[in-house]
Copies of this chain bind each other. A is one copy, B any other.
Amino acid sequence: MTLSALTETKETNAGTVTAQQYCQGMASVAAAVNIVTTSNHGTPAGFTATAVCSVSDDPATLLVCLNRQSSVHQAFSQSRHLAVNTLAAGQDALSNLFGGRAPMAERFSQGNWSTLSTGSPVLSNAAVIFDCRIIDVKSVATHDVFYCQVVAIQEQPDTGALLYYQRGYHTLT
């Protein structure tokens, strides 16, 4: 491809990236689907997230981004622990349930939930679970970034992966 061909693709002007353009671009970035959970004073809370990212293996550290306007934000801010449940192939319905507007009791009525170390709910048949202590929070634009030290991991072999790409679910096996 030559430089002239570049101009034929969709290119925004510098500094004028709208939310719509950004979300359109991010639709081309495939991502694992996770249900992120906590338990605040015994009440479980959880939401579906693709904005989860590994940070370091020494010590084992990951991050989760959460909109400060989210209905679950207060629970995560107060509890100081969370679990990342990375979904397996076929768990689309659970992803939709935790990504919608269903009350928490309805969300946790589906799937088999347990706990590992921190008390955050873990989904027994997730592909992999990272049980974490929240060690730091950084506010960036509309979101809080929760930095988390991983204190327990549980894997299920050969579950395949649920992915979100081009505004739809896909599976890797």
The answer for the CA separation of A114 and B7 in the assembled complex, in Å, is: 11
Interface pick from A37-45, A57-65, A91-99: A57-65
Q: In the complex, are the beta carbons of A1 and B112 less than 8 A apart? A: yes
- The number of chain A residues with a CB under 8 A from chain B is 74
Q: Tell me which residues across on chain B come within 8 A of A110, comparing CB atoms.
A: none
Query: Cβ of A36 < 8 Å from any Cβ of B?
Result: no
Question: Smallest CB-CB separation from A127: which chain B residue?
Answer: B28
The answer for the CA separation of A167 and B107 in the assembled complex, in Å, is: 32
Query: Cβ of A102 < 8 Å from any Cβ of B?
Result: no
Query: Cβ of A104 < 8 Å from any Cβ of B?
Result: no
Query: Cβ of A70 < 8 Å from any Cβ of B?
Result: no
Q: In the complex, are the beta carbons of A116 and B155 less than 8 A apart? A: no
- Counting every copy of the chain, the complex holds 2
Residues of A44-60 whose CB lies within 8 A of B: 50-60
Q: In the complex, are the beta carbons of A150 and B1 less than 8 A apart? A: no
A145, chain B: closest CB distance, angstroms:
7
Query: Cβ of A76 < 8 Å from any Cβ of B?
Result: no
Q: In the complex, are the beta carbons of A153 and B57 less than 8 A apart? A: no
**A 1-36 to B, binary, CB cutoff 8 A, 1 in contact else 0:** 111011001111111011101111110111110000
Q: In the complex, are the beta carbons of B140 and A9 less than 8 A apart? A: no
Q: A10-B154, A22-B57 are known; give 6 further A-B pairs, CB within 8 A.
A: A12-B153, A28-B128, A29-B161, A30-B31, A55-B143, A63-B63
Residue ranges of A at the interface with B (Cβ–Cβ < 8 Å) = 1-3, 5-6, 9-15, 17-19, 21-26, 28-32, 50-61, 63, 65, 67, 86, 112, 114, 116-118, 124-125, 127-128, 130-131, 136, 138, 140-143, 145, 147, 150-156, 159, 161, 163, 165, 170, 172
